[in-house]
């Protein structure tokens, strides 16, 4: 095979060690291989960087092993070109697996150009990604804690959630009933009745602990949102453009930028972005038979954000995305319709970030307008005749 990278290295990364293999040309025209093991402390990683620079390495490949690759990548990225490689693309011969063999195999794959790098966003986007992911985790934790509160109240015979959806942070049952506003004021008698139960001392302890944790989570979420607002300030224009997509609110726009960045040249095409995200049909064909087309595995965080945005867009009225969801839900089901709408949102986000233009809605009647009047007429006639009727068409006056 042709040697595409003359001076390259492969790293087999673990929690406490990094096995490095370097392949460089020799004077006789051959290839020399050097292997050395380093620790994962910062001092050891700096020594690894100096060792790679001393050998004149221009490209380093490493397997994406959990989170252990991150400190290695961050130390080396300023000195050499680093490629993060998908573990599925690095399969070696079974029965010959050692740390040295893995490092040498990765080095040879990089040397001959047999692998492609994974997407690693620049440092500002990485910081934003850490913040948005942690905020999402805390939002989910707050939801679980609110559900625990409702379970404790149900155990005490208090049916507050059956009357008022917002039952958190209430000082007392009588005061809650008197503070009811708007449409909730009509439920004051039901509130008083729902708040009478068998509330014991252990219920008080559990509710007090849960409310304290909810208060802590609210403060943490406020601090995280404030920090995210500062970090995303350089990308405010992109966030505003993304919010023109139906179903994409402020938090979703921040999360999309954190997951895919703002530089779409890293992907090159909307289809490649959707493939990287695992948000497009898979391709499984063998012996002329088409297998399952289920989506591939991608970022679970991006999948969560796109699912939420698709659900919100499906509920919007008078939009192309809502019409697409309604059109597919009857034939393919709600889950597949959600994936299709999420794919449309991701493709729209690509072109918005690439062209720096706001979202342009195709309209709820797009699927009707793309066919001629005669085509729609023939389709409707066929559907009526399939029901056992004879159709005669006559122009209206």
Non-local (6+) Cβ contacts of 121 within 8 A are: 129, 261
- At what angle are helices 334-355 and 320-332 packed, to 10 degrees? 150
Predicted TM-score of the model (pTM): 0.83
Write the DSSP symbol of residue 63: E
Cα–Cα distance between 139 and 134 in angstroms, integer? 9
Residue 332 to residues 185, 287, 325, 327, Cα–Cα distance (Å): 43, 27, 10, 9
Q: Identify the CATH class of 8-111.
A: alpha beta
For residue 266, the tally of other CB atoms under 10 A from its CB is: 16
- pLDDT exceeds cutoff 50 at 179: no
- pLDDT exceeds cutoff 90 at 283: no
Distance between terminal CA atoms of the chain?
Answer: 76
Q: pLDDT over 90 for what percent of the chain?
A: 57
**Per-residue pLDDT tens over the stretch 72-88:** 999 999 999 999 998 88
- pLDDT exceeds cutoff 90 at 310: yes
User: What is the pLDDT confidence band of residue 166, given thresholds at 50, 70 and 90?
Assistant: low
Q: Which long-range contacts (CB under 8 A, 24 or more apart) does 141-150 make?
A: 141/217, 142/214, 142/217, 142/218, 142/221, 145/210, 145/213, 145/214, 145/217, 146/214, 148/210, 149/207, 149/210, 149/211, 149/214
Which pLDDT does position 281 carry in this prediction? 79
User: What is the pLDDT confidence band of residue 297, given thresholds at 50, 70 and 90?
Assistant: confident
- At what angle are helices 270-277 and 334-355 packed, to 10 degrees? 130
Question: What's the gap between Cα 186 and its chain centre?
Answer: 42
What is the DSSP annotation of 190-208?
A: HHHHHT-S---HHHHHHHH
C-beta of residue 221 within 8 angstroms of C-beta of residue 214: no
């Amino acid at each position: 095979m042709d040697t595409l990278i003359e001076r390259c290295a492969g790293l087999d990364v673990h929690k406490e060690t990094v096995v490095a293999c370097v392949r460089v040309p020799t004077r006789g025209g051959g290839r020399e291989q050097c292997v050395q093991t380093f620790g994962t402390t910062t001092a050891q990683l700096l020594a690894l960087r100096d060792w790679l620079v001393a050998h004149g390495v221009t490209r380093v490949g490493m397997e994406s092993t959990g989170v252990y690759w991150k400190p290695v990548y961050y130390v080396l990225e300023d000195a050499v070109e680093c490629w993060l490689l998908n573990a599925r693309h690095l399969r070696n011969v079974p029965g010959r697996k050692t740390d040295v063999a893995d490092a040498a195999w990765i080095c040879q794959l990089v040397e001959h150009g047999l692998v492609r790098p994974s997407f690693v966003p620049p440092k500002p986007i990485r910081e934003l990604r850490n913040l948005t992911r942690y905020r999402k985790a805390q939002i989910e934790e707050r939801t679980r804690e609110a559900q625990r509160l409702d379970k404790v109240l149900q155990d005490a015979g208090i049916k507050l959630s059956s009357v008022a959806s917002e039952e958190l942070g209430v000082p007392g049952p009588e005061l809650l009933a008197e503070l009811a506003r708007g449409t909730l004021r009509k439920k004051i008698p039901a509130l008083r009745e729902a708040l009478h139960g068998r509330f014991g001392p252990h219920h008080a302890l559990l509710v007090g602990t849960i409310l304290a944790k909810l208060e802590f989570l609210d403060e943490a979420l406020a601090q995280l949102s404030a920090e995210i607002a500062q970090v995303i300030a350089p990308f405010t224009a992109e966030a505003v453009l993304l919010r023109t997509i139906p179903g994409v609110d402020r938090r979703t726009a921040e999360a999309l930028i954190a997951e895919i960045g703002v530089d779409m040249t890293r992907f090159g095409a909307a289809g490649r972005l959707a493939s990287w995200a695992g948000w497009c049909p898979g391709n499984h064909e063998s012996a002329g038979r088409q297998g399952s087309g289920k989506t591939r595995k991608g970022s679970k965080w991006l999948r969560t954000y796109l699912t939420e945005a698709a659900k919100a867009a499906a509920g919007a009225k008078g939009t192309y995305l809502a019409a697409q969801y309604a059109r597919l839900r009857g034939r393919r089901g709600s889950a597949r319709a959600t994936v299709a709408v999420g794919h449309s949102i991701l493709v729209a986000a690509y072109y918005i970030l690439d062209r720096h233009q706001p979202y342009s809605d195709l309209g709820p009647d797009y699927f009707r307008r793309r066919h001629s009047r005669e085509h729609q007429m023939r389709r409707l006639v066929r559907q009526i005749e399939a029901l056992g009727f004879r159709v005669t068409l006559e122009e209206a006056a």
